[in-house]
Amino acid sequence: MIPVCEPLIEEKELKYVNECLKTGWISSSGKFIDEFEEKWADYCGMKYGIAVSNGTTALQISLGCLDLKHNDEVIIPTFTIISCALAVIYNKARPVLIDSEPQTFTIDTGQIEEKITQNTKVIMPVHIYGHPCNMDPIYKLAKKYNLIIIEDAAEAHGAEYKGKKCGGLGDISCFSFYANKIITTGEGGMLLTDDNDYAKRARSLRNLCFQKDRRFYHEELGHNFRFTNIQAAIGVAQLERIEELVEKKRWIGHTYNEKLKDIGGLILPIEKTWAKNVYWMYSVVLDESTGMDAKGFAKQLHNLGVETRPFFLGMHRQPVLKEMGLVDSEYYPVSDRISEKGLYLPSGLTLTEKDINFVVNAIKNAL
Ligand SMILES: Cc1ncc(COP(=O)(O)O)c(C=O)c1O
């Protein structure tokens, strides 16, 4: 079975983790945390990095920095992971959903303005499967309506919009370093920002809002969303070969593109002229001519030795959000179509050309 993803762990990771274990710096302080925060922020072109326990908590804290109130609204794409909606809900605000643009699956920027109200405070663009969002229309709206941009770059390490790194495009950006991400720390996440006040607030919120001068005296409700030196040690080692990892992802993307382009039946991922797509996960959508949905296709591929993953299911389709009245039930046709027809293929950093040939042959057979 070709797995959908496997992390690439090498000697450096072992060496740095060993150093933590030997020196006893195994908890949430230590040199690797500082180094990882500084270097990741620097790589993305941001001033401050605040490492947290995962990408979901990064999103939660980023909105926590904004002091949202009941009835405040945050614009998110419906086609995303539930972490985005949860971050809004746990910060007392309401997620307002937007459909996807059909080629990149990212938020359809042409549909945002009609959903902006007096209560809108934030736009959360999410770069999907390694392709950046179209940011200029988002910047225009943010300026016109005085909105904050919280960028979810959890799937877009090393991707670029008009030559600028994803993660360096918003007021605050959020990353995940889960094991399937381009850079992993096992579990982990980070917020990046240029704003010193947000950075200070995020550091406090991740660590129970302890006070500097009076530790066990609390003026705010915080969280324990801390990140460990051991996780950071893995991250620092991974970051030392970020260029190689991003290039490998792009090689996987281009190799699939080349081998699948004449097969028919599949809509392949694209790279907009203004984008650097890192093909975090190589995503395909079945076209109507196949008469198949992703579930049936995945089952056939599984029988042929290829593991896949289904696409996200839109937030407007999530029973828990609907039953609690947290999202509207408008029609989101692009999200619905790609959820039904889309899946991603094995895309891990350990993939070889032989593996890709195996996957491509399985696809030919399945189709
Ligand atoms: C777009 C997006 N945002 C947020 C997250 C949440 O990250 P984590 O799994 O580290 O909580 C993910 C996870 O894959 C994601 O894909």
Q: Residue 53's pLDDT is what?
A: 98
Question: What is the model's pLDDT at position 296?
Answer: 97
**From CA 109, how far away is CA 276, in angstroms rounded?**
19
* Position 329 pLDDT exceeds 90: no
Say yes or no: CB of residue 189 within 6 Å of ligand 1.
yes
Taking the centre of ligand 1 as the mean of its atom positions, its distance from the CA of residue 131, in whole angstroms, is 15
Indicate whether residue 154 lines ligand 1 (CB < 6 A). Answer: yes
Task: Please tell me the residue having the least CA distance from ligand 1 atom 5.
Answer: 55
Query: In a 3-state reduction of DSSP, which class is residue 82?
Result: helix
23-49 average pLDDT score: 98
Can you tell me which atom of ligand 1 is nearest the CA of 188? 10
Structure tokens at 288: 């109507």
- Per-residue pLDDT tens for 103-136? 999 999 999 999 999 999 999 999 999 999 999 9
User: How many Å apart are CA 201 and CA 222, to the nearest integer?
Assistant: 10
Q: The tokens 């950075």 sit on which residue?
A: 199
Determine what percent of the chain falls in helix, strand and coil, rounding each to the nearest 5. Answer: 40, 15, 45
pTM of this structure = 0.97
Q: 83 alpha carbon to ligand 1 midpoint, in Å? A: 6
Q: Which of 62, 81, 281 to mutate for ligand 1's pocket (most ligand atoms within 8 Å of CB)?
A: 81
Residues in the chain: 367
Within 31-153, strands assigned E span 48-52, 73-77, 94-98, 120-123, 148-152
What's the mean pLDDT in 223-233?
98
274-306 per-position pLDDT tens digit: 999 999 999 999 999 999 999 999 999 999 999
